[in-house]
Structure 1
Amino acid sequence: MGPGEYPIGGPAAALAARVRAGTITPADVVTEALARISSENRKINAFTVVRADRARAEARELAARDDLDELPLAGVPVAVKQNIAVAGEPTRAGSAATSTSDESVDHPVVARLRAAGAIVVGLTAMPELGIWGSTDEDGRVTRNPRDVGRSAGGSSGGAAAAVAAGLVPIAHGNDGLGSIRVPAAACGVFGIKPGRQVVPSAIGADSWAGLAENGVLATTVSDAALALSVLAGRSDLAELRAPQRLRIGLAVAPPSRLVRMDRHWTAAARTAGARAAAAGHQVEPVELPYGDAALAMLLRWPTAGLADAARLPNPDLLQPRTRRHLALGRLIRRLRLVRPDQVDRTEARMLEFFEDFDVVITPTLAAPPPKARQWSRRGWAANVISSVRYAPFTGLWNLIGWPAASVPMGVHPEAHTPLAAQLAGPPGSEASLLGLAAQLELSN
């Protein structure tokens, strides 16, 4: 079965429609999804937990609901990243240092998915505490379904791999410095990180220094919009509309002159700009006023996991690369190198820029994803350099808390891995980004 192919029901919206109409049952859907996972997961290691028995039981319970015909995600199999609570499962967060106790209550995001009729078939792989740009744990490397010799990215690498391999049509992810958009781009699927307070908090109020948001990875923009509408509790987000003529800035230069750009990733952004222009939007080459945003992002990265690490029951089991990263974070905090004015200056520059523009298009990545290997056993410097080298574009939008998405944009002619463009906009622009992404998807 190829990526994105669903013999029973097609994309999530069509699948839910068939369940609501009674032409298939939730049990049929779950059985098919579990068969796909059983067949394909061993090749890519997208899932760390497969909830086979529980998912079947939940499918039977769903079929008995008297509101089945009203549920937007009726019977849709979904994956959840293993750093938010799923009742009956431990929240591992990619680390042996976390608790092995089962959660008693679902995270609000999971509760909303279940209330909408979705069935959680499994938990997806991620790097330790979501810190790193490639995914492996317990000796298992999460591989890119488009090229198993390369990483699926991180930190929502398992989620991206599960969607790209056609194991589920929709997956939950969260994004602290690009952790949805980076693996989405690497694996050739659509991913969106909403702005602040659109969806319930990613992990906890103090987790990831306020940088992280829960979002969605999906095979189609319409499926992502449907899932995001459920997570946000906003039915309007599911109604994709072609946006009125947008003023779009095309910004292909990276945030730092130290970043080396792969010309094909630059070309991907330009392709997105050309398609947007063909759809009737005003597109203008620009330079984003990054200023010192790259430094602000780098300083926050080592501090982002400190609150999570402080709650760990077994911190001595953290990986060496993570211990060093967090030690650097504590030093940065003691020296008071992370200051609110850094974000304020960056956001002020962006607010001024967006007086003249509605959306900006950039490359999502600067290079193809790294090789699939056990990065957790490599040194701190190797991990940092790898992450920074290929994913410099995404963190800005976490720093200021604005929405951003990654849209597939063809295939790299040399690496034969997916290409993608990033769309970003000011607070409240999720609907515009989704509408524009759908236009670019149709012209793909």
Structure 2
Amino acid sequence: MAPSRGRAEGCSVLHVDMDAFFASVEVRRHPELAGTPVIVGGAGNRGVVTSATYEARAYGVHAAMPTARALRLCPTATVLPGDMALYAEVSRSVMALFRSITPLVEPLSLDEAFLDVSGAGRRLGDAAEIGEYLRARVFDEQGITCSVGVAGTKFVAKLASTRAKPDGMLVVRPAEVIDFLHPLPVGALWGVGAKTEEVLLRLGLCTVGDLAHVPARTLQRAVGPAAGGHLHELAWGRDPRRVVPDEPERSTGHEETFGTDVDDPAVIHRELLRLAERTAGRLRAGGWLARTVSIKVRFADFTTITRSRTLGVPTDVGQELYETARGLFDALGLDRARIRLVGVRAERLVDAGSAPRQLELGAREHGRRDAELAADRAARRFGAGAVRPATLLHRDGDRRVRDHPRG
């Protein structure tokens, strides 16, 4: 049935997300596995899941889970090693399709992107028609499915695509945003990690609607000035960010390979802190602020995963980078998986002089930044490592092989 007139009125942003991307590409390559549980990842006791079909997910299998545990949950699953070159090739083809519709394409990863289709309406119809057209083209040309969220803002479009999964599309018009957002759990909001969610739940704020009806100043006292204001805006569907096509990638970071595989979260946390502090130092030295923090985790079988989170306000403070990186790592729920390498990266860098960061610093953040600037001065005078967080002064032996800066 053709979309009704006005179905996507006021909507110009699409979030397109491939469904179980790696696993779907493998099923395309092995059609005899269609409709069966398939796991992509490392085999054996040290293997880790990187992707799984929805048939496997129905048993509780998810990314970053040890493969051995996944097979206990779903013994009939087929485990395939994966082929990143193939996935990258399929991704390039999908992104080229998106760019044939609109030049305003902002890839987030191999398998998802934002599109601003406001200029494509005369040729292809409204945003809902374009979303359906893209879904059909992706399936016809690549043999995989995708889910599409259609909305007036990036934030709502991304939530809508998640709700539409798998193989669906959801349109949320501006007049419908509040009814769509407010029943959702507070954890659905961008910027709400495990620690922030715990604070909000303690305050009795279980849904986005609960949070929306709390005064912004109350939120700011609970979670900080910048985060509180950011969450209050999102809870009312306000997100001014535009789709940024092919933004030049500026990033910096550090990663570390351990001498022996590590399965102790405390050791990983210390390493993330050290890497975050070093990355923040490079940001300050270059006059940059980071809008996004990402981590890399490589397991004993060399399977590698990355996770990222965009900050409400750009930063060059090591503690803020660390808290975000640690939240990303803890959210993986690795269950003592053996880890070979970890990395912290600051991405989507902006010039510190032109960003509003300093205006939004609270007393606590000012104190952190002042302390880190003092550490920078000490490092220049006495050498790197002259001042370090106390957590890094005592370690359980030196398990590191090498620390790799990534400019």
Q: Please say whether Structure 1 and Structure 2 have the same fold, judged by a TM-score greater than 0.5.
A: no
What is the TM-score with the length of structure 2 in the denominator? 0.26
What is the TM-score with the length of structure 1 in the denominator? 0.24
Structure ranking higher in strand proportion: 2
Q: Which has the larger radius of gyration?
A: 2
